[in-house]
Amino acid sequence: MTFSQLEIATAYHEAGHAVMAMALGRPVQRVSVLPNRVRLGHCEFKKGKTRPIHDALETEILVLLGGLAAEARHTGRYSLTGAAQDLRSVRSLSQMRATSEKQVERLERRLLNKAEHILDQPGMWSATERIADALLRSTTISGRAARHLFEEAVVT
């Protein structure tokens, strides 16, 4: 089966969100590359009890930036228009932490670097590739399937 560059980029983007979430302890409910009127794909998180998160705001920003970072690693460029909704959310969250525009931009740059660093860790990029591949084959995978692919890649 042949996929367009946009479909492949979207699969890596959503896989990046899922891998970042699982790496930081946020359980994933479902990951999809089925487009709708608002977005090309979606990573849905489980509601309810999760393990305590040290810095919830930073974790949320890192998960949002995980999509942009993974897509950029795969394509070689940042798709700011493709990640516009994520970036608007990142900006809103960053403004809760930083007071000046310069501090907001510095925080966002630091956290994007951190997201890229996390995806560079052993097993993390392999997990991203495995989840992206599964999304291209199935368009939607369960959180359980994503977790299995994540654990398989991180352990091996």
| Whether residue 49 has pLDDT greater than 60 | no
Q: State which H helix or E strand residue 29 sits in.
A: strand 28-32
For the segment 65-95, what is each residue's pLDDT rounded down to a tens digit?
Answer: 999 999 999 999 999 988 999 999 999 999 9
Q: What is the mean pLDDT of residues 54-64?
A: 92
Q: DSSP class of residue 139?
A: S
| Whether residue 48 has pLDDT greater than 80 | no
**What is the per-residue pLDDT for 43?**
93
| Tokens coding 82 | 């493709």
- Of the chain, the percentage scoring pLDDT greater than 90 comes to 81
User: Whole-angstrom Cα distance, residue 71 to residue 128?
Assistant: 10
Q: What's the chain's Rg over C-alpha atoms?
A: 15
Fold for 5-155, please state it: Methane Monooxygenase Hydroxylase; Chain G, domain 1 (1.20.58)
**What is the per-residue pLDDT for 37?**
76
Whether the predicted model's global pTM rises above the 0.85 cut: yes
User: Whole-angstrom Cα distance, residue 139 to residue 122?
Assistant: 26
- 128 near 16, Cβ under 8 Å? yes
Q: Where are the domains of the chain?
A: 5-155
